[in-house]
Amino acid sequence: MSSVEDDLTARARIRNAALAEFADSGFSTATVRSIAARAKVSPALVIHHFGSKTALRRSCDEYLLAWFRREHTAVLSGMSLPTRAEYFAARPEFVVLYAYLQRSIHDGGSTADAFFDHFVADITSSLSVGEASGTIRPYGDPHARAVITAAISLGLMLFDTQIARHLGGESILDPAVLDRYTAFTVDLYTHGMLTAPVDFAPETSPEAPAAPPQPPPTPEEP
């Protein structure tokens, strides 16, 4: 076990093991016993800290949402873009979190709906931070912008294998694939694709968006 793992609390080690087990095995297949084995603790300790597999999954969801919220805000407030190697070295947990989120989106249902709603709320907030800091261009319908941005970000995960196959790998996270994927995405969001503006006047004014759902409470830090 790594020194980093040694420094984590038992609760955090169980949560991290659950993230990996849920991502690898699926939510219905993973069990308290298999999670405990991965965390190298007893099943009784898993129940002691979380009460049930359902509550443990809820804790995983909250941790992932809080993690991505911090990342979105940090990038959009300062536009700091480290190299791929720097990013993964500083955030070794990203690969597991990506796999967990991908599993959730692929499975669909109420959990995927909840993730989408929370991502819309988080992106709305993060883009507001970007506007305030001058790194994001203001847009007249910020709710539509956040909804479509969330759909692009999460929807592309459904085509991970297909995207990677065309870009020369097996996963978006393969280094060569990720470099090409990120280079185009940054260029698209920075410069757009059209060489001249296109006039578009919607036939109806956008409806006032419903109040976004409240984000879950910030989970305990390891």
Q: What is the pLDDT of residue 4?
A: 43
How far apart are alpha carbons 39 and 79 in whole angstroms? Answer: 36
Residue 41 has pLDDT above 60, yes or no: yes
Number of domains comprising the chain:
1
Residue 4 lies in a domain: no
Residue 15 lies in a domain: no
In 128-203, which ranges are E strands?
none
Residue 199 lies in a domain: no
pLDDT top residue among 221 and 203: 203
Handedness of CA 172, 174, 175, 177 (dihedral sign): negative
Q: What is the pLDDT of residue 92?
A: 85
Q: What is the pLDDT of residue 155?
A: 92
Q: What is the pLDDT of residue 68?
A: 83
Residue 6 has pLDDT above 60, yes or no: no
Residue 30 lies in a domain: no
Summarize the confidence of residues 17-30 as an average pLDDT: 95
Residue 175 lies in a domain: yes
Per-residue pLDDT of 57-112, as tens digits, reads 999 999 998 888 887 766 656 555 667 777 777 788 899 999 999 999 998 888 88
How far apart are alpha carbons 122 and 119 in whole angstroms? Answer: 5
The amino acid at residue 148 is I
DSSP secondary structure code for residue 217 in this structure: P
Residue 204 lies in a domain: no
Q: What is the pLDDT of residue 164?
A: 95
Residue 133 lies in a domain: yes
Q: What is the pLDDT of residue 3?
A: 39
Residue 159 is part of a domain; what is its CATH number? Answer: 1.10.357.10
Per-residue pLDDT of 189-214, as tens digits, reads 999 999 988 887 777 655 555 555 55
Residue 30 has pLDDT above 50, yes or no: yes
Per-residue pLDDT of 133-189, as tens digits, reads 888 999 999 999 999 999 998 999 999 999 999 999 999 989 899 999 989 998 999
Residue 33 lies in a domain: no
What's the domain range around 118? 61-191
Contact call for residues 51 and 61 (beta carbons, < 8 A): no
